[in-house]
């Protein structure tokens, strides 16, 4: 059976756990060689790379903190050098800091913007230098860009809202080159950062039309769609996958 992404090379930032890990696995299952970045737990990252290789593709774990723009660019260059190019970039790395406005620390503001916004720009800028026609840039945003239903999340919501404008604008830059860029906006997804049995779970389910969390594989499936040739006419879009959180 032919695989849609056979021979393609992908880089997933923050790809060692949660949604990022599911994306890495799905792209590999579809035939892509996959590099991913991680910040800590090198043994776990190495184990994941070995597991991905059992799918018959090459895998590369790269230690890089998205708060550091130099490390982000280096991860892109290492991917292109060692895997022979770059066709797909998934900007998945992100952080969440929640606090009342009176208590929100400036260092948390700066870190949120550095990872959730600046690193997306930096990685994209570096990646598209390697991409040919048919290249794909996919950013993982949040449904909170459109709806923030509780106090303390203003900075996080702002960082994810910024991606909407960035993606729309970059679609104009990249369109003439045949490269698409899109933004996926997940709602509550069962991961170690926001478990389905966590302290906020019942409150979040109350906002949803479907009264259950999504799975990381749900988001990975949407990434796979945007990465393949069937989505070649989709660009500059923000696609929501949130169980009706924003309905």
Burial 23-59 (b: 16+ CB within 10 A, else e): bbbbbbbbbbbbbbbbeeeeeebeebbeebeebebbb
Q: DSSP labels for 197-216?
A: TSTTHHHHHHT-SSSS-B-H
Q: Rounded to whole angstroms, how far apart are CA atoms 57 and 186?
A: 27
Widest CA span in the chain: 57
Which helix (H) or strand (E) element contains residue 238? strand 238-241
Catalytically annotated residue among 38, 156, 213, 225: 156
The first and second tokens of residue 118, run together, are 């600046």
**Residue from 72, 64, 179 nearest 122 by CA:** 72
Is 156 annotated as catalytic?
yes
Contact 185, 242 (CB under 8 A): yes
- Give the residue ranges of DSSP H helices in the chain: 18-29, 42-53, 69-83, 106-113, 119-128, 154-174, 201-206, 216-227
Q: Which residues are tagged catalytic? A: 156
């Amino acid at each position: 059976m032919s695989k849609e992404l056979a021979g393609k090379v992908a880089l997933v930032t923050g790809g060692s756990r949660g949604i990022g890990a599911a994306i890495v696995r799905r792209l590999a299952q579809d035939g892509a060689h996959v590099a991913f970045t991680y910040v800590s737990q090198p043994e776990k990252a190495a184990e994941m790379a070995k597991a991905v290789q059992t799918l018959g593709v090459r895998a590369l774990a790269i230690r890089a903190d998205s708060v550091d723009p130099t490390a982000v660019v280096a991860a892109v260059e290492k991917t292109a050098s060692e895997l022979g190019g770059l066709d797909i970039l998934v900007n998945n790395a992100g952080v969440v800091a929640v606090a009342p406005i009176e208590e929100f620390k400036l260092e948390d503001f700066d870190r949120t913007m550095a990872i959730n916004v600046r690193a997306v720009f930096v990685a994209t800028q570096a990646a598209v230098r390697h991409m040919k026609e048919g290249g794909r840039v996919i950013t993982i945003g949040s449904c909170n860009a459109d709806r923030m239903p509780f106090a303390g999340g203003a900075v996080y919501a702002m960082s994810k809202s910024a991606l909407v404008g960035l993606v729309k604008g970059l679609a104009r830059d990249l369109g003439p080159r045949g490269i698409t860029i899109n933004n996926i906006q997940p709602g509550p997804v069962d991961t170690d950062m926001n478990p389905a049995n966590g302290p906020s779970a019942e409150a979040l389910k109350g906002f949803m039309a479907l009264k259950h969390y999504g799975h990381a594989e749900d988001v990975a499936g949407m990434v796979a769609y945007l990465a393949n040739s069937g989505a070649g006419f989709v660009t500059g879009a923000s696609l929501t996958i949130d169980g009706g959180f924003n309905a």
